[in-house]
Amino acid sequence: MTPQSFDFTFTVRAPLAAVAEFHHDTRALTRLTPPPIFVQLRRVEPLAEGSVADFTLWFGPWPIRWMAVHSGVDSLHGFTDAQRSGPMKFWRHTHRFDAVDAHATRVSEHIEYEHHPGWRGLFSSLLFNPLALRLLFLYRGLVTRLALQNKPRP
């Protein structure tokens, strides 16, 4: 199969530091995963260079084990997670946070991925195709906005 990429950007009416803190929280993956997918966290280390997130995504009765390693971790401007093991032949997801102004932040998501050949790739391409990714990130944008917008700040 051919390597692919996916990009998604949205703006949150919240300061850069609040958006970065939200995404650095070890509970972020659970909060940002849409139903009916269930996330079972196995080991999620605090976000840092080389930290590991080991989890299972449950698509109904079908579990998909995934392990990612973080790199390029910047306390305000984002990080990258790369699949060490999981359903894809290759997966690298970069999260970037940029201040639009003092009260708004742009979140940019960039994913580079490749499916395995054969049946395994057919299965992953059903779950991780451009439409499914778009729906996933629309949900993530909504959850991020609901969590951060219009919240009192100290």
Residue 101 maps to a domain: yes
Strand 78-85 to strand 4-12: parallel, antiparallel, or no bridges (unpaired)? unpaired
Residue 143 maps to a domain: yes
Residue 153 maps to a domain: no
Domain around 136: 4-148
Per-residue pLDDT reduced to its tens digit, 112-147 = 999 999 988 998 999 999 999 999 999 999 999 999
* Cα–Cα distance measured from residue 125 to residue 14, given in angstroms and rounded to the nearest whole number: 34
Q: What's the pLDDT band for 88 if we cut at 50, 70, 90?
A: very high
What CATH number does residue 40 fall under?
A: 3.30.530.20
How many C-beta neighbours within 10 Å does residue 136 have? 19
Per-residue pLDDT reduced to its tens digit, 95-114 = 999 999 999 999 999 999 99
Spell out the residues 6+ positions from residue 75 whose beta carbon is closer than 8 angstroms to its own. Answer: 20, 24
Residue 36 maps to a domain: yes
Assessment of whether the complete model's pTM goes beyond 0.75: yes
What angle (nearest 5°) sits at the alpha carbon of residue 145, between those of residues 9 and 88?
50
Residue 84 maps to a domain: yes
How many domains is the chain built from? 1
Residue 154 maps to a domain: no
